[in-house]
Amino acid sequence: MMKKSRLLAALLMLCLLFPLVAQGQVESAPAKEIELRWASIWVGNDSKAPAVEALVAEYNAKNAGKVKVVIEPQPDYNAYEQKVRTSLAAGQAPADIFTIKFNPTTATFYQSNLLMDFAKVMDTTWKQTFDAGSIEQSTVDGMLKSLPMETAILPIWYNMDAFKKAGVTELPTTLEGMFAAFDMLKAAGITPASQMTGDTNAWTSMIWFSHFAVSLGGTNVWDKPFTDAAFVEAAKLTKRVITEYSTSDAVGLGAGGSGGHFLAGRTAVFSNGPWYAGRADLAATPFFSSIKIAGLPAAGSTKDFMISRLQANICAAASKDKAREAAIVDFLKFLTSEPSISKIAETSGAMFALKTGYRPVKDLQKQFYDVASAAKTTAFDLEAALGAEVTLEFAQQLGALALGRITAEEFCALIDRKIER
């Protein structure tokens, strides 16, 4: 009787356990959703922010329960660049996805094993969607540890309403003509040019300096010693524009102040990339429809060129987790697809290193494409050519140059010491 009871109990236990065992054989636990952190600068007032936010929401909706991209806002560009450098130096990727300005300084990031090498995960179809030259430029020692995303030309912007008020109806075509027009603007009570020496790159004035230097020294000027006569003369011209034709707060001013003067109509000439053309506060200005863009009038023998750069390359954290790696690649394929890039370009005016059929219809955005197409050649700006450390020295010494504390020759010699050859 005891044996029979034990047998019945054992059979009952097996009956209770069998469904659980069987269920485990046909059903596995649901995969955990992969969360990808994106440290994004395309937030806040950045013209790409609305489209990027919408695209991330679209991707998350399509991949609900599998992959979720979380934007970590990085509205301070300068602080963000420092964050990337310090994170990598500390042996940690700043996020699963992040961007860099590709230049000699950031190219050293390729030495880190923290970054994903896209050359190992990129199929032919995906690779062919990128501009071949940009891919080549972004490849270092056979490694592609950043994807070329945003490109830019960096022309000069002219508020033609302000020029007409001063009696100038055409864009100046010579350096003498430009300074003459600036004198007419001053006589009419209009400050000619937005300039700045602050931030980590003296952005606005760095663009002007780059135009001057390339015109004076050729498109390969950045290969020359910084003590070359082309750089010395470019420094003198930049100083003249800052001290004679800019706002009284130009020394120490940051990019927000430089742009703010132009947006408020306090200055008539500005410099920036195509992303700025899509800003809502720019479109709201009374002079928006009058803006014309072009290069600076030639200071030297090199003409009909445009300053250009890779403005933003996308990096990703390397991962031994194949599911996470696949999720990152899947999102970046979505982000860099023709429909996604066309949406960002249409709303922001930004230009990209990806092949799309997009062509802008808004006049100011269209001007960027027209100016880029019309240029006979292109050349890097100082930051793109020589890197962040050299550009920081440029910014730090530019104020001293403008204040007359150092000569143009001394200014160039100080910068030359920062260049690694």
pLDDT in tens, 62-82: 999 999 999 999 999 889 999
| Nearby residues of 354 by Cβ (< 8 Å), 6 or more positions away | 129, 130, 131, 149, 336, 338, 341
**Would residue 358 count as lying in a domain?**
no
User: What is the structure's pLDDT at 363?
Assistant: 93
Q: Are residues 300 and 317 in the same domain?
A: no
Closest C-alpha to 408, from 225, 240, 242, 236: 236
Amino acid at 85: R
Q: Are residues 300 and 316 in the same domain?
A: no
For 287-350, where are the E strands, in sequence order? 291-294, 305-316
Q: For the CA atoms of the chain, what is the radius of gyration?
A: 27
**Would residue 147 count as lying in a domain?**
yes
More confident residue, 384 or 15: 384
Q: Are residues 207 and 224 in the same domain?
A: yes
Q: Are residues 74 and 204 in the same domain?
A: no
Bridge-based pairing of strands 191-193 and 291-294 is: unpaired
**Would residue 386 count as lying in a domain?**
yes
User: What is the structure's pLDDT at 30?
Assistant: 63
Query: Which of helix, strand or coil describes residue 72?
Result: strand
Amino acid at 21: V
**Would residue 223 count as lying in a domain?**
yes
Closest C-alpha to 278, from 365, 352, 212: 365
Query: Which of helix, strand or coil describes residue 68?
Result: strand
Taking only the tens place, the pLDDT of each residue in 333-342 is 999 999 999 9
For 166, phi and psi rounded to 5 degrees? -90, 0
Q: Are residues 411 and 284 in the same domain?
A: yes
User: What is the structure's pLDDT at 31?
Assistant: 75
Q: How many other CB atoms are there within 10 angstroms of residue 377's CB atom?
A: 13
User: Given 331, 352, 373, which residue is the final one in a domain?
Assistant: 352
Give CA 168 to chain center in angstroms.
33
Q: Are residues 113 and 236 in the same domain?
A: no
Q: pLDDT tier at 359 (50, 70, 90 boundaries)?
A: confident
**Burial zone of 210 (CB within 10 Å; 0-12 exposed, 13-18 middle, 19+ buried):** buried
Taking only the tens place, the pLDDT of each residue in 167-205 is 999 999 999 999 999 999 999 999 999 999 999 999 999
Which pair of structure tokens corresponds to residue 35?
């969360």
Q: Are residues 220 and 286 in the same domain?
A: yes
Q: Is a pLDDT exceeding 70 seen at residue 2?
A: no
Number of residues that this document lists for the chain: 421
Q: Are residues 167 and 182 in the same domain?
A: yes
Q: Are residues 161 and 291 in the same domain?
A: yes
Find the range with the poorest average confidence among 162-171, 204-213, 301-310, 351-360: 351-360
**CATH number of the domain enclosing 87:** 3.40.190.10
**Would residue 360 count as lying in a domain?**
no
**Would residue 6 count as lying in a domain?**
no
CA dist 383 and 404 (Å) reads 24
User: Given 298, 319, 352, which residue is the final one in a domain?
Assistant: 352
Amino acid at 183: D
Q: What is the pTM of this model?
A: 0.86
Q: Mean pLDDT throughout 80-93?
A: 93
Q: Are residues 162 and 255 in the same domain?
A: yes
Structural domain span for residue 199 = 156-308+365-416
User: What proportion of the chain, given as a percentage, has pLDDT over 90?
Assistant: 87
The domain tally of the chain equals: 2
Q: Are residues 243 and 369 in the same domain?
A: yes
**Would residue 11 count as lying in a domain?**
no
Q: Mean pLDDT throughout 304-311?
A: 95
Closest C-alpha to 298, from 162, 122, 178: 178
**Would residue 217 count as lying in a domain?**
yes
Measured at the CA of 325, the angle between CA 319 and CA 330, to 5 degrees, comes to: 155
Sheet holding 267-271: strands in order across? 191-193, 267-271, 156-159, 291-294
Q: Are residues 401 and 326 in the same domain?
A: no
Q: Mean pLDDT throughout 200-225?
A: 97
